[in-house]
Structure 1
Amino acid sequence: MASAWSRVFGFERVSLCDWPGMNASVIFLGGCNMHCPTCHNYNLAWHSDTMDVIPQQAIENYLTKRARWIDGVVITGGEATITPGLADLIRDLKHLGMPVKMDSNGMRPDVLQELLDEDLVKLFAVDVKGPYQKYPVLTGGTTSPEVAEENLSQVFELAKQYPDKFLFRITKVPVLTEEDIQEAESYLPEGFTLKHQEYVPPRREHAETDSEARQVSGDMVA
């Protein structure tokens, strides 16, 4: 199996907003199973073959040296759950004493289940894109309403079993109405709320994307 470390195309040394209440480093994995037209990390998601890999040793050295000030690591993408060897990467981080939060679009509940079974992830932040019937337009035609409902329903069942391990969020992209957001919120299990995130259009006309701006080369990590 390929190493997930070979899919690390970005690393943010310190973030105060990716894990509420935590000083976190952020690992960006390349590749995605969706093609959302509103994606901010589109180069990372769809064109990671044009980006440089951040060396595992450089990241581990940084986390070891800064362990006193870093509370944990956020793994995001792209979509982390499609990355082969993901569990091994998380185990490496746990060996360094780093708890892990992971962002996901919820389309691989089987992967979330495996990570929960091993208690590898402390918190999952799952995106609910909108009402199921709008998933085709929200995801660039990659996800049908039936697939979205099947997978997210499984994620919601996991959240019932592990209520402290999940939070859910929605980005208010232009195609969504207030009624759409309310419908998406109605899917959540009792006791959960849907965090609303304001939409900021991707700056695709710029040479440097948000994901590229957060990427650092290996020698800059140390």
Structure 2
Amino acid sequence: MVCLAVSGRPVQKLTEGVASKPEAPGCFGAAKGAVPVRCHTFCHQGAARDVNPENAWRHLRGLTPLSLCDWPGRPCCVVFLGGCNLRCPTCHNASLAWDMESEPLLPQARLKAFLSSRARWLSGVTVTGGEPTAVPGIGMILHEIAASGLAIKVDTNAMLPDVVEALLAEGLAQQFSVDVKGPFDQYPSLTGGAVTEAGARRSLSRVFALAEARPEAFLFRTTLVPQLSETDMTTVRGMLPAGFTLATQDYKPPRRPHALADSEARRTAGNMV
């Protein structure tokens, strides 16, 4: 379930399972000081009581001022959000994904000041992680970034299709870069047991349907982790909707026990999770 809290009027039902009440318990609505009319706060089932501005912005953990490879064709900055719903054994940003408190907090004011001063030199913002769609309040964060006038790309593992659909419908992301881990039957091992084969098939099928309806808004890629064979890659290509190509990136084991979301760590391009 995903809900969009709206001040003073019912929520527009964007997808099956979206809340139809003005506020879920604990949602940060406009009446409590958020963005007027719509607060753009997304609440995951069971986490609604935790959604407030402080909790959302606590996930902001890193910023790369300029990247020429994270969004093909666009010079962009990269914003890192901590936390993830998977436990991939090959994760390149493990500390950011699983132990975000070990990474320095990036103050909201610093991000806002950066976007205000650099927006004219950029043509987009890539929001990565971790897993951005797993952040309660992700809509609030994207709304703040969108105020800069820059287009937004979200890197996602697509295991929370309700959130992907809602962000797309709300216009809070112009593109999604979907990390397809591998064939459906390998998701349990590729995600550290976090996703079943049936769960992967169900979630990705919904995102593939969104991509068929909005092909300009989706890219698909796979990291060539050691577990995947050429036969597996052929299978993955066959999973994609018609007309889409699969981008691949080499797997490079982290040089440190946990990769950091900063320029010092010489982060490999792309969301290696």
TM-score of the superposed pair, with normalisation by structure 2 = 0.75
Corresponding residue for residue 259 of structure 2: 209
Q: Does 2:221 correspond to 1:169?
A: yes
One of 65, 68, 72 as aligned partner of 1:16: 68
Q: Does 2:232 correspond to 1:180?
A: yes
Greater length-normalized contact order (CA 8 Å, ≥ 6 residues apart): 1
1:27 and 1:75 in contact (8 A); partners too: yes
Counterparts of 1:78 and 1:54 in 2: how far apart (Å)?
A: 15
Q: Secondary structure at the match of 1:149?
A: helix
1:46-195 → structure 2 map (5 Å cutoff): 46-195=98-247
Structure with higher helix content? 1
Counterparts of 1:165 and 1:121 in 2: how far apart (Å)?
A: 9
Q: Does 2:108 correspond to 1:32?
A: no
Using a 3 Å threshold, how does the CA distance of structure 1 residues 56 and 214 change in structure 2: closer, same or farther?
A: farther
Q: Does 2:46 correspond to 1:2?
A: no
- Give the letter for the 1:175 counterpart: Q
Q: How many residues align?
A: 213
2:176 and 2:217 in contact (8 A); partners too: yes
Give CA-to-partner distance per residue, 1:124-170, whole Å, 9 cap, x none. 00011000111111111111111000000000000011110001000
Counterparts of 2:259 and 2:162 in 1: how far apart (Å)?
A: 31
Q: Shift of residue 89 of structure 1? A: 1.1
Q: Shift of residue 6 of structure 1? A: 1.8
Q: Shift of residue 213 of structure 1? A: 4.4
Corresponding residue for residue 218 of structure 1: none
1:101 and 1:124 in contact (8 A); partners too: yes
1:63 and 1:70 in contact (8 A); partners too: no
Counterparts of 1:211 and 1:54 in 2: how far apart (Å)?
A: 11
Corresponding residue for residue 220 of structure 1: none
Counterparts of 2:243 and 2:68 in 1: how far apart (Å)?
A: 26
Q: Shift of residue 203 of structure 1? A: 2.1
Q: Secondary structure at the match of 1:124?
A: strand
Q: Shift of residue 52 of structure 1? A: 2.0
2:96 and 2:260 in contact (8 A); partners too: no
Structure with the greater alpha carbon radius of gyration: 2
Counterparts of 2:263 and 2:114 in 1: how far apart (Å)?
A: 19
Q: Shift of residue 204 of structure 1? A: 3.3
Counterparts of 1:148 and 1:98 in 2: how far apart (Å)?
A: 32
Counterparts of 2:259 and 2:169 in 1: how far apart (Å)?
A: 36
Q: Shift of residue 212 of structure 1? A: 4.7
Q: Percent identity?
A: 46
Structure 2 regions of 5+ residues with no counterpart?
Answer: 1-50, 266-273
Using a 3 Å threshold, how does the CA distance of structure 1 residues 120 and 195 change in structure 2: closer, same or farther?
A: same
Q: Shift of residue 188 of structure 1? A: 0.6
Q: Which runs of 4+ in 1 moved over 6 A?
A: none
Q: Shift of residue 99 of structure 1? A: 1.1
TM-score of the superposed pair, with normalisation by structure 1 = 0.92
Counterparts of 1:214 and 1:79 in 2: how far apart (Å)?
A: 21
2:61 and 2:261 in contact (8 A); partners too: no
Corresponding residue for residue 219 of structure 1: none
Q: Shift of residue 201 of structure 1? A: 1.2
